[in-house]
Amino acid sequence: MKLLKTFVLVAAALATMLFYGCENVNEPYDISSTAQPPYVELQDTTSQVLEGDTLDVVFELPVAIGEDVDVTFSISGTAEYETDWKTDDENVSPDGGTVTIEYVDSTTSNDEYALELIFPRDGEIDGDKNLTVSLESAVSASGEELMVGQGPIEKEQTITIIDFDAKVPVETGTYDYSLAGDLGSGSGTVQITDLDPPYTEGGTEYGNLISDFAAGAFGGAVPYPFSVVGNGVVIAPSAYTDQGVSADITGTYNQETGRIVMDVTLTCCGGEGFQWTLTLTPQGE
């Protein structure tokens, strides 16, 4: 059965909603019925990406109607096409486009269309940008007009694109840490220092160094470079050749408290796939 997403109805329509809460894949919604009319929505309303990332904007039909649905949408915002965002989807232009949500009677999930957007690294410190995808109309294959969103909600998705090249100064000194994950749990202290010159990988500079990113798991302190960009996103190289270690490291930096959270996935040293989180707090905070 296809799952119906929960939504708010007036009391008079509550019984109808409960009746249609699940539907058999062989008995799609009757588009001519007087029950809650079918509609198209955007799966998310706000998103945040870092330059260099990709993101799927998902157009969703919560209740199948037994036929395909064409969805027209617009794109606006401060982000420039080809410079700040792009797509390989031939249905999309810089101002929007039309995509088709195909009805698949054998699936047990909602009918949807995933539009992949690409956010290139432009190599410039030009601040964060935004992009808004707005639903304009939806029409079934038989020509019936469907609602888009539910009133003002689920009708727009705003994407904030964080500037990869805008580095944020990180407080240096001694940090207390707490550890959780595949390495167990624990606490202790590490040092964060500036790297001069910065460590460079793929043209990206990493200007900070944590004195031990694995909380002693290697039998001694193993440092790893990182930087903070945009509004507090931790980035790190895929490998630190000076130490012969590699890891995927993401996280956040709170510019008010100085607290750093690092999510680490090890990619070397016989421990590939090991994951842990380091929460770092400047001493005195």
Q: Is residue 168 part of a domain?
A: no
How does residue 284 score in pLDDT terms, banded at 50, 70 and 90? Answer: confident
For residue 147, the domain's CATH number is 2.60.40.2030
Q: What is the Cα–Cα distance from 55 to 47, expressed in whole angstroms?
A: 9
Domain C-terminal end among 162, 189, 205: 162
- For residue 58, give every residue at least 6 positions away whose Cβ sits within 8 Å of its Cβ, in sequence order, or none: 42, 43, 44, 112, 113, 114, 115
SS3 77: coil
Q: Is residue 42 part of a domain?
A: yes
Q: Are residues 181 and 150 in the same domain?
A: no
Residue 117 sits in which domain range?
2-162
Domain C-terminal end among 162, 185, 212: 162
What are 82's two structure tokens?
A: 């080809």
CA atoms within 13 A on the CB side of 123: 2
Q: Are residues 209 and 262 in the same domain?
A: yes
Q: Please say if the pLDDT value at position 24 is more than 80.
A: no
Give per-residue pLDDT as tens, 198-214.
999 988 889 999 999 99
Per-residue pLDDT at 47: 95
Instruction: Report which DSSP code applies to 12.
Output: G
How does residue 1 score in pLDDT terms, banded at 50, 70 and 90? Answer: very low
Q: Return the percentage of the chain with pLDDT > 70, whole number.
A: 86
Q: How many domains does the chain have?
A: 2
Concatenating the DSSP letter of every residue in 201-256 gives: ETTEEEEEEES-SSTTTTSS---EEEEEETTTEEE--SEETTTTEEEEEEEEE-TT
Q: Please say if the pLDDT value at position 163 is more than 80.
A: yes
Q: Please say if the pLDDT value at position 177 is more than 80.
A: yes
Domain C-terminal end among 162, 190, 224: 162
What radius of gyration, in Å, describes the C-alpha atoms of the chain?
A: 24
- For residue 43, give every residue at least 6 positions away whose Cβ sits within 8 Å of its Cβ, in sequence order, or none: 58, 59, 60, 112
Give per-residue pLDDT as tens, 45-92.
999 998 989 999 999 998 888 999 999 999 999 999 999 999 999 999
Q: Are residues 110 and 180 in the same domain?
A: no
What value does the mean pLDDT of the chain take? 86
For residue 254, the domain's CATH number is 2.40.128
Q: Is residue 144 part of a domain?
A: yes
Q: Are residues 15 and 150 in the same domain?
A: yes
Q: Is residue 167 part of a domain?
A: no
Q: Are residues 202 and 157 in the same domain?
A: no
Q: Are residues 177 and 154 in the same domain?
A: no
Q: Are residues 60 and 198 in the same domain?
A: no
Give per-residue pLDDT as tens, 96-116.
999 999 998 876 567 999 999
Per-residue pLDDT at 106: 73
| CA 202 distance to own-chain centroid | 23
What are 148's two structure tokens?
A: 């888009």
What are 170's two structure tokens?
A: 């990180």
Q: Are residues 193 and 98 in the same domain?
A: no
